A = this chain, B = another copy of it.
Amino acid sequence: MSYDFNPHFAKLFENETPKELYTPITYALSTGGKRLRPQLALTACNMFGGKLEDAMPVISAIEVFHNFTLLHDDIMDNADVRRNRPTVHKQFDESAAILSGDAMMIEAYRQLEAMPHDLWTELFPLFTSTALDICRGQQMDKNFETASSVSLNEYIEMIRLKTAVLLACALKLGAIAARADKRDADLLYEVGINIGLAFQIQDDYLDLYGDPLTFGKAIGGDVACQKKTFLYILTQELADTRAIEMLNLYYAKTDIILTDRLSLIRELYNNNNIPQRYEQYLAEYLRKAEESLAAVNTTDEAKKPLRDLIAKLANRKK
């Protein structure tokens, strides 16, 4: 069902020079990954009768932009590994990750410029405001690291900016590429926001409750770096003082081995019905996504691929 974008991204910049600038870019784009944003853009484009080639420039733009954010985020987060390979600043060096990342952001605009001119006034402001939202979201995420407390609303605004707007943008760009009505393109944007929120809280959930065999990365990474996750913040908002104190204690007790801390934290969450509350939020975001999709003015048959994609995301284990 899903299109294999890997050959496209492996070749996109293979003839660009200087090599030292573009080799890290091709390295970053060759890691595979889910290609979620390209799949969303293509699915939206198809929904309105558009073809792959209609959406290809927006698909390239959004995936190159997304990978640019990973290059720079990995420097800021001191992350050594991504998708089982050294991150760009580890494989090359930090200057390469900064400069090649910069070039990727600009290349994203260059890809967008391959779209028909009459669509530019719709495409560029959407792309630019999305890109700025993502910087704002990343900044909020950084701020949360040192904040003494983060409210649920602040957290949801952060993940909306950092994650959800790009999925929303992917769907809307795909719809615009197929020359969908503005109302339908806006509805798909709302679908994307809700998929994005669902996707991100799922990430937080799977980090603690995921099956180590299928999750694809180590369980408990968020606890290890004391990240204020959705489950952590739900607890701060919903549990009694005693439970909150215990949670903060488990988070801070880095002298106990991680697997033991994870067991204690899971038990605390379970006793406070946090997984159930998480499930409610997840279901609500997926319901809203479905509600917006239902309102789109096309056939159920045309909507089916996006419905299937949402269903697949809803059941993901990694």
Seen from chain A, the residues whose Cβ lies within 8 Å of a Cβ on chain B are: 17-18, 20-21, 72, 75-76, 94-95, 98-99, 101-103, 105-107, 109-110, 113, 117, 120-121, 124-125, 128-129, 131-132, 135-136, 138-140, 142-143
Contact = CB atoms under 8 A, between A and B. Distances in A.
Given A18-B136, A98-B98, A99-B139, 18 more contacts: A17-B136, A18-B143, A72-B99, A75-B94, A75-B95, A75-B98, A76-B95, A76-B99, A101-B102, A103-B136, A105-B106, A107-B132, A109-B128, A110-B128, A113-B124, A113-B125, A117-B121, A120-B124
Contacts of A75: 94-95, 98
Nearest to A121: B117
Nearest to A158: B18
B17 A142 contact: no
Q: Which secondary structure dominates where chain A touches chain B?
A: helix
A155 to B, nearest CB: 14
A138 B99 contact: yes
Contacts of A106: 105, 128, 131-132, 135
A98 B95 CA distance: 11
